[in-house]
Structure 1
Amino acid sequence: MFSLTAQDVKTGVPLADKAAVIQALADWLEQDGHVAAGYGAGMLTREAQNSTYLGQGIAIPHGTQECRHLIKNTGIKAMHLPDGVPWGGGERAYLVLGIAAGSDEHLDLLKQLARTLSRDGLFERVKAARQSQEVLQLLQGNAESATETKFVLSADRVAVKARAGTLELLVEQAATLMQLNPTEESALQQSAGMYIGQGWWLKQIPADDKPGAALLTASGITHRQQPVSGLLALAVRGSEHKTLLTRVADWLAAGRGAELAGQDSAEALLNVLKRGPVSLSSHQRTVVVRNTHGLHARPGAMLVQAAKNFDADIQVCNLDGDEHWVSAKSLMKMIGLGVKAGHQLVFRAEGPDAEAALDALTEAVNGGLGEAFVAQATEPQAEEHDIHEPQGIDPNTLVRGVAASPGIAIGPVFVDAPLRFDYPQQAGDTQAEQQKLSAAIEQASAELSATLRRLSDTQARDMMSMHRELLADSSLTQGVSCRIKQGQSAAAAWWSEIDSAADRQAASSDALLAERAADIRDIGRRVMAILCHSRMTPPPEHPYLWLAQDIGPSQLVNLDPSRVLGLVTVGGGASSHSAILARSLGIPALVAAGGAVMALPSGTEAILNGDDGTLWVAPEAAMLEQARVRQQREREQAEQDWMRRHDAAITLDGHRIGVAANLADTGQAREVMEVGAEGVGLLRTEFVFMARHSEPDLDEQLAFYRQAFDALDGRPLVARTLDVGGDKPLPYWPVPKEDNPFLGVRGIRLCMQKPELLKTQLRALLMAAGDRPLRIMFPMVADWSEWRWAKALFDKIQSEVQATDVQVGIMVEVPSVALNAAVFAEEVDFFSIGTNDLTQYTLAMDRGNGGLARLSDGLNPAVLRLIKMVVDAAHAKGKWVGVCGELASDPVALPLLLGLGVDELSVSLKRVTLVKAQVREWSLSSCRKLAEQALQAVDAPAVRQLYNN
């Protein structure tokens, strides 16, 4: 959330002219690097178009859409003018906020400001402010606003159809629900009850500590000759109770108090209260907001201006917000709705020109309110990747992408096109639409159950179980039902709710919840396919090359490796889920191929080269034959390599290098010896901690680690301690969402916050090892103090357990460690280089960003130089260096790593035999020569060209 600091506030500003104030704010924004020169002119132009006065002595000038290109980054500056400045319309501004909004970061602040404006006596407080901190309290909330957020009516404070013969007994039940002490309960009983109409009564007392409320309904009770059908009991402080009281009053004003009291459950009563009454005679319209940054001040002001052109009473509700109704003619109320892109607004109007008003407002929102807006999708698609318009590919054309998994694959393509769903937005029979939805959800759940029964992989089963739980989540279906009642079709309501729920999850402050967005969309598409009778085209029975936008979670678990010859995706990078899956299965793969491949007709013959990252489409006969010959040669070579899999990896001139296996599960340990690996070079221990509801205890971890040691029969095991946090959260250890989790609290940084967890893991590893070789390495170390903390913790546990063959090292993932390797080499026993992270941190490129896939290459000379620094520092102190990242599996990188002096390569199980064979094809002297040339190259393509030469 964007927030102001004291440095963003100036008080005692002596300016007395509106134009001077706006220009001063623009100059300040420019001085602090938020905008370029000329933004002030845009702010003045915007003010000439529409006044930015909000009310209560506050104005928020900002630029026009046309000057948005001048914004460098979001910034807000506040000036307090003790004498005020005329702002037009007879209003005077005492607090003026200059806004440069480069994104929607400022929306939460404006939403808070809108809430602030609704408080009593604010105008006088704004005028009287003299210190920066006073202004900040007004804008961002003080003790009163903090209390307001706690004043929530929850289901445990609601009782429907309560059994009570008198109002006094009903008040007694209310006191119990509110957890009042005897003194407070007595005060509530003795307070003067107020009859507010239609059988509803109000009882309230002042709250000394915490405010609260209870809502009860009853029947057959009278008091003072008036019926008692409902009771609102309040313990109030300040004005925080007004929202709840207003909502009850809205029902009474609409003459629908009996309907409010007649709800059958606490949840139903809360839902209708939150939604507000909709008069049977009112006109209503639903519209989706597609403005890129939602309804911030500028488009909100245009919408308010449009509403003010009509005499009708117009109200608006954000179905994706807190769903309360506000006046569409109030800008501060509009901003307070917190409307973002994709949110649904419901307008209702009463008056002679109600229909015309709703038509105009709907048209205004659909038109973008003077801004560029996101086009409304007619079907759910691959949200996380650009959907390119296929342009077509001519026969015998070479398509270049990013090599993701090596090997040659030849065969017909199967184009897995995104499903397209056609459905009406509106429907007349709400009951029939609800039945359609229920049947589709039931069918989808049955399909998930069937998938679960045939799955053996633990992680896949956990993922499908989680999908089934999401599908059964009542909060999701309740939201859909609400939309159906508003007149939407089942499909439109379902996808709208899925879309908004996924957006909310992605924006969650809890990193674990944020990660569930992709799963929500996945189950959303599953149900949509049933509702729209749009089944995915089944893959062919014969072997094929799979072409897709990307591969979703449910597709991953259904992949048949016996029929999938190779993978090609439109987006993604070499570290994407589909690429990692392909490498683990030994399937050639190409990523970031571009959207044109989706235009290929299924069945088109193609050659996929996962070594150089190319796809030949409809090749000529001669080229096809050459590829088949090469493929056959590789198969024969692979058979020969397999026969020698237990031989050591020794170069032509007698240099031996270790080749180990990366494991993500100790259940795979038995395969290490089978493929000829010399041990485990990387055990990702987080598998023990993931997909659980609580952290594993010592005995559970011991069982996992012993399984690996027993299978290795004396071969060394390199275990990376728990590497979670940020991008990989634990379900039972939620952490705040970070803007950039890869640069946040993860790995050893997170373990330092919970040392007991790391202590248990170290103890389990040491106890499981006994006298067998164990190598422990700590992830994400960037600073000497982190290493010393981890080493001290290890020393303490080792002194108690006394394992006999243990080495302790660190992962080299952060450039600071490579640059400071000589210092670390004094104490560590070894280094293990994680080239995936080292590359992304060195090049400042997100490894998951498909648009940067071609540039994010571990063979960049800068990365190679860092590897050389680590090797040199380690060897100077007699320590060894391994590489466990994806670069170790790259055929082009292999001779370079040998030449740089790396001692061990750790790769996936499927790659062990091939890597050992490739080592035997090189001499160490030629590798060193090649590495020296690579260190002098200008970029990664130049390094790869050296290999081809």
Structure 2
Amino acid sequence: MLSLTAQDVKTGVPLADKAAVIQALADWLQQDGHVAAGYGAGLLAREAQAATYLGQGIAIPHGTQESRHLIEKTGIKVMHLPDGVPWDDGEKAYLVLGIAARSDEHLDLLKQLARTLSRDGLLERVKAIREPQQVLQLLQDDSGSSVATELMLSVEQLAVKADAGSLEQLVEQAATLMSLIPSEATALQQSDAMHIGQGWWLQQTPTSEQPRVALLTAASTDIVHRQQPVNGVLALAVKGMAHKTLLNKIADWLAAGRGAELAGLNSAELLLNALQCGPAPANRHQRLAVVRNSHGLHARPGAMLVQAAKPFEADIQVCNLDGDQHWVSARSLMQVIGLGVKNGHRLLFRAEGPDAEPALNALAEAVSGGLGEELVSPEPKADTVDTREPQGIALNTRVQGVAASPGVAIGPIFVDAPAPFDYPQQAGDAEAEQQKLEGAIKQAGAELNATLRQTRDTQARDMMRMHGELLADVSLMQGVTGRIRQGLSAAAAWWSEIDAAAARQAASDDALLAERAADIRDIGRRVMAVLCHRRLPSPPTHPYLWLAQDIGPSQLVNLDTSRVLGLVTVGGGASSHSMILARALGIPALVAVDEAVMTLPSGTEAMLNGDDGTLWIAPEAAVLEQARARQQEEQERAEQDWTHRHDAAITRDGHRVAVAANLGDTARAKEVADAGAAGVGLLRTEFMFMARRSAPDLTEQLALYRQAFDALEGKPLLVRTLDVGGDKPLPYWPMPKEDNPFLGVRGIRLCMQKPDVLETQLRALLMAAGDKPLRIMFPMVADWSEWCWAKARFDIIQAEVQATNVQLGIMVEVPAVALNAAVFAEEVDFFSIGTNDLTQYTLAMDRGNGGLARLSDGLHPSVLRLIKMTVNAAHAKGKWVGVCGELGSDPQALPLLLGLGVDELSVSLKRVPFIKAQVRDWRLSRCRQLAEQALRAVDAPGVRRLVAAAQREPGTAQ
């Protein structure tokens, strides 16, 4: 902890201007070696952004993020201004602490400072300071004072979003909540209110009775008292030191700058999360772990964490330091997933018991190992723009949803309406109801285990195990038992608890975590079916489109999927467990469709399009006939494409194009030749660096690359060097959180921080290649110096290994490279265009933002112009250009890429025969004409209309 000495304090400073005080503090910090010149500007910039006046005559000016690079070492300097200096909103500062914070060493001191604000008569003591020692004494932490009892809040003493128009009205309500005798209620209301920071106020009175407390937050954001906002008030009837712990917890929130967040919590969050959890006792062991799962701790990895905790005797708790910071049992799945842990969040574990240390080691290791998941970047979010049809769906109507699994399906609808569970709300025999509940849970668990034994899919088995953990969750059972003891029946208690837990999960800010509410409701329905002696709805025996409010994963696993033509849900999301399974099973699916579809009669014919996200209800016979004919044609075309997959990709006028395959791992290299690919056009090597506890060594990498070369039998292997960073973190390579990881340290920038990682990878590649064709490209290059740095590392290792058939290139993902392609073309052997990132950076649209999905199109003329610039620069120097992004698989993009002069298209293995066949349908001359027209278009929809018209021309394509 950072501590102040008398040398860090000056009293009697004769300054009367805020700017002069700030500059004097900056000069003092610079003189003592804490900051470099210019830090004063950062302090002033912060003042323009946010208030630094804490209250009680104290201000804490500190620099901006942009000025942090000027800090040499953390330091705090304190000035006392006997006449005060006007600071913010008419307040005067008498004690000013200038802060240069390089890390978090100063936070304990700030918490200490925040606690001093609650002391009686503090402002007068601040004004009266004459010696540095008085400042140190004022800031001394008194939290160690003996506390006989601890004043705790209960729900009866809380009023969240209280209806009041003034601080006085809030305090009047507080007196009522505290049940004060009339004289003490009057004394509380007449006491001097203290602003303790960030809109929080303290009002207190002594009492000869039992100490009491009330906490209220204001519904209105317009309440002002003494020119300061009123967000909340803590009212105390104090006796001794019983109130100190509670007061210090609020001070901790204010010291962390989270006063507004504290005021926004609901009653449960205030009671369970914010104010009732103190620090771990001294006899407890603690361990910190950072979650690197792409979607945080949702149900499946949460279940793995719970399983890792169960073998130990120690009492193990966990707290999300980047969440609400409340402690929960590490053995409760419901509580663990309720922490809302996201990628990059820090988990603090604490344990008490005979095996506390090994328990913490095991949990930290489990988290760093990914908890059964690959540590990869999140999938792009689905487009959630609400374009759905209004209520009341007519026949021959198309309903818009969100595409969740591709493909087209036609068939009768099976409307799986929620099963109506009939049960009494109340019951007289709590013990009998408890036995019913336990029996139902046991039976549901047995059915779940039977499903698990029959399931072979690894992903499905993981989901079933997770559901088993939810059924056995201790906190869930405790909640239900509590409701039964209050007089509810077993069914009413169970469903109330399930409904509440699912609602909490659905309210998560993280879309994927919110979608996991379906898992909770799924296990809830299992138990309800047993309790209410009901069979869950059975699907028909003929093929069908399954319509449901939501579809639980276990329902999908249990079905004969050969009969399920497609899935449609009102709720859920494209990243839900059910949709993950749907994609794995190749079932077309939509989510987020209009709830009115649930009123349709089962048996209604419909057409589901999982590509454009539509459901066509009872289409006319002619439409159905056309759709079935198109399905048949597509199937025949796919079979024909596969038959001719080894034919060259040559346009009708004789232009040859290479069609290669994108691979995510070396294991599938053996499928490249069979798919008709010209080789591997992109091997993403990050797969071998993820989901492990340390980087792969030379031997491991060498074996994997040799596996790929052997499988390719002389076809070229194009490898992208390690491409990870802020958006794709490695568990063993901790990095600071970045506000925008796509513009941060990733790709070649990250390798420049650890050259040995890149050098090992290059050595393994060159040794594995020998005389086989190897193409190496560096990702995320934006500047000439980055290329020179990477090329120098390659040259050193190549001089030692001397592989004989190697080309070296770069990814074109950043517009700067395309604009400067003529310079890079002097040295690189090739360019490979990553159209996903190039589009993202060119259009300034996050590729994972569903709301921008329709605008973020790689066929935007600006992106096409950058591709053209790259091709022209490369061909002028005799170099080749490939496209390895998603645009290469787009049939509308294909003629434009050919017309722009792209030499190689690299697509997924499954798309290779299709893309090769598409190339054979076009003439290069027509493609060039289209490309010239596209470059003059104004937007991406215009380009697509242009190509669509050309595709309909007889004899040109298809």
Shorter-chain TM-score range: 0.5 to 0.7
Cα displacement (A) at 1:915 = 0.9
1:108–1:775 Cα change, 3 Å: farther
Cα displacement (A) at 1:924 = 0.5
Map of 1:264 onto structure 2: none
Secondary structure of the equivalent of 2:271? strand
Aligned partners of 2:45, 2:506: CA distance in 1, in Å?
36
Give the letter for the 1:632 counterpart.
Q
Question: Which structure 1 residue ranges, 5 or more long, are not aligned?
Answer: 1-9, 16-27, 36-42, 44-51, 61-78, 98-106, 146-237, 254-275, 349-378, 507-514
Map of 2:772 onto structure 1: 772
2:211 matches 1:344: no
1:776–1:739 Cα change, 3 Å: same
Map of 1:908 onto structure 2: 908
1:627–1:757 Cα change, 3 Å: same
1:117–1:435 Cα change, 3 Å: farther
1:434–1:410 Cα change, 3 Å: same
2:231 matches 1:306: no
Higher mean displacement: 882-891 or 642-651:
882-891
Cα displacement (A) at 1:680 = 1.4
Aligned partners of 2:682, 2:556: CA distance in 1, in Å?
23
Aligned partners of 1:575, 1:836: CA distance in 2, in Å?
20
Aligned partners of 2:894, 2:113: CA distance in 1, in Å?
58
Map of 1:360 onto structure 2: none
Give the letter for the 1:774 counterpart.
L
Cα displacement (A) at 1:889 = 1.3
Secondary structure of the equivalent of 1:761? helix
Secondary structure of the equivalent of 2:606? strand
Map of 2:361 onto structure 1: none
Map of 2:659 onto structure 1: 659
Cα displacement (A) at 1:647 = 0.4
Aligned partners of 1:702, 1:631: CA distance in 2, in Å?
45
Cα displacement (A) at 1:928 = 0.9
Aligned partners of 1:667, 1:687: CA distance in 2, in Å?
11
Give the letter for the 2:923 counterpart.
S
Give the letter for the 2:685 counterpart.
T
TM-score relative to the length of structure 1: 0.59
1:464–1:689 Cα change, 3 Å: farther
Cα displacement (A) at 1:946 = 0.8
Question: Is the 2:662–2:680 contact (alpha carbons within 8 Å) kept by the matching residues of 1?
Answer: yes
Map of 2:798 onto structure 1: 798
Question: Is the 1:777–1:810 contact (alpha carbons within 8 Å) kept by the matching residues of 2?
Answer: yes
Aligned partners of 2:46, 2:737: CA distance in 1, in Å?
31
Question: Is the 2:452–2:461 contact (alpha carbons within 8 Å) kept by the matching residues of 1?
Answer: no
Aligned partners of 2:692, 2:765: CA distance in 1, in Å?
20
Question: Is the 1:572–1:853 contact (alpha carbons within 8 Å) kept by the matching residues of 2?
Answer: no
Aligned partners of 1:787, 1:82: CA distance in 2, in Å?
59
Cα displacement (A) at 1:842 = 1.6
Give the letter for the 2:710 counterpart.
D
Give the letter for the 2:270 counterpart.
L
Aligned partners of 2:668, 2:429: CA distance in 1, in Å?
56
Cα displacement (A) at 1:619 = 0.5
Question: Is the 1:80–1:95 contact (alpha carbons within 8 Å) kept by the matching residues of 2?
Answer: yes
Map of 1:885 onto structure 2: 885
Aligned partners of 2:734, 2:426: CA distance in 1, in Å?
38
Aligned partners of 1:837, 1:854: CA distance in 2, in Å?
16
Map of 1:679 onto structure 2: 679
Cα displacement (A) at 1:806 = 1.7
Secondary structure of the equivalent of 1:649? coil
1:387–1:601 Cα change, 3 Å: farther
Question: Is the 1:316–1:326 contact (alpha carbons within 8 Å) kept by the matching residues of 2?
Answer: no
Map of 1:833 onto structure 2: 833
Aligned partners of 1:315, 1:497: CA distance in 2, in Å?
30
Aligned partners of 1:524, 1:108: CA distance in 2, in Å?
40
> Residues 237-292 of structure 1: CA distance to partner in whole angstroms, max 9, x if unpaired?
x855x54666xx3xx43xxxxxxxxxxxxxxxxxxxxxx676xxx9644989799x
> Residues 316-369 of structure 1: CA distance to partner in whole angstroms, max 9, x if unpaired?
799xxxx99966999868857863556623399xxxxxxxxxxxxxxxxxxxxx
Aligned partners of 1:589, 1:694: CA distance in 2, in Å?
38
Aligned partners of 2:857, 2:16: CA distance in 1, in Å?
54
Map of 2:943 onto structure 1: 943
Question: Is the 1:770–1:804 contact (alpha carbons within 8 Å) kept by the matching residues of 2?
Answer: yes
1:904–1:472 Cα change, 3 Å: farther
1:568–1:516 Cα change, 3 Å: closer
> Residues 278-320 of structure 1: CA distance to partner in whole angstroms, max 9, x if unpaired?
6xxx9644989799xxx9x9999986663245544554799xx
Give the letter for the 2:777 counterpart.
M
Query: RMSD of the TM alignment (CA)?
Result: 6.2
Higher mean displacement: 891-900 or 590-599:
590-599
Map of 2:716 onto structure 1: 716
> What does 1:468-867 align with in structure 2 at a 5 Å threshold?
543-544=543-544, 565=565, 604-609=604-609, 614-867=614-867
Cα displacement (A) at 1:926 = 0.7
Cα displacement (A) at 1:58 = 5.8
Aligned partners of 2:563, 2:172: CA distance in 1, in Å?
61
Secondary structure of the equivalent of 2:616? strand
User: How many residue pairs are counted as aligned between the two chains?
Assistant: 703
Higher mean displacement: 930-939 or 113-122:
113-122
Aligned partners of 1:80, 1:431: CA distance in 2, in Å?
70
Aligned partners of 2:424, 2:870: CA distance in 1, in Å?
59
Cα displacement (A) at 1:56 = 2.8
Give the letter for the 1:56 counterpart.
Q
Cα displacement (A) at 1:930 = 1.0
1:933–1:119 Cα change, 3 Å: farther
Cα displacement (A) at 1:653 = 0.5
Cα displacement (A) at 1:654 = 0.6
Give the letter for the 1:840 counterpart.
Q
Aligned partners of 1:681, 1:244: CA distance in 2, in Å?
65
Question: Is the 1:651–1:921 contact (alpha carbons within 8 Å) kept by the matching residues of 2?
Answer: yes
Aligned partners of 1:747, 1:286: CA distance in 2, in Å?
53
Aligned partners of 1:578, 1:818: CA distance in 2, in Å?
41
TM-score relative to the length of structure 2: 0.59
1:399–1:526 Cα change, 3 Å: closer
> Residues 502-548 of structure 1: CA distance to partner in whole angstroms, max 9, x if unpaired?
99997xxxxxxxx9957986765665555666999787665555678
Aligned partners of 1:498, 1:427: CA distance in 2, in Å?
27
1:792–1:657 Cα change, 3 Å: same
Map of 1:353 onto structure 2: none
Secondary structure of the equivalent of 1:622? helix
> What does 1:925-944 align with in structure 2 at a 5 Å threshold?
925-944=925-944
Question: Is the 1:767–1:801 contact (alpha carbons within 8 Å) kept by the matching residues of 2?
Answer: yes
Higher mean displacement: 522-531 or 910-919:
522-531
1:495–1:867 Cα change, 3 Å: farther
Aligned partners of 2:573, 2:903: CA distance in 1, in Å?
28
Question: Is the 2:545–2:564 contact (alpha carbons within 8 Å) kept by the matching residues of 1?
Answer: yes
Question: Is the 1:305–1:329 contact (alpha carbons within 8 Å) kept by the matching residues of 2?
Answer: no
1:624–1:676 Cα change, 3 Å: same
Cα displacement (A) at 1:498 = 8.7
Cα displacement (A) at 1:748 = 2.1
Secondary structure of the equivalent of 1:346? helix
Give the letter for the 1:344 counterpart.
E
1:851–1:801 Cα change, 3 Å: same
Cα displacement (A) at 1:649 = 0.8
Aligned partners of 1:93, 1:620: CA distance in 2, in Å?
77
Secondary structure of the equivalent of 1:855? coil
Aligned partners of 1:128, 1:501: CA distance in 2, in Å?
53
Give the letter for the 1:863 counterpart.
V
Secondary structure of the equivalent of 2:811? strand
Secondary structure of the equivalent of 1:662? strand
1:892–1:496 Cα change, 3 Å: same
1:560–1:450 Cα change, 3 Å: closer
Cα displacement (A) at 1:901 = 1.1
Higher mean displacement: 767-776 or 328-337:
328-337
Cα displacement (A) at 1:710 = 1.8
Aligned partners of 1:795, 1:936: CA distance in 2, in Å?
42
1:668–1:793 Cα change, 3 Å: same
Aligned partners of 2:692, 2:446: CA distance in 1, in Å?
22
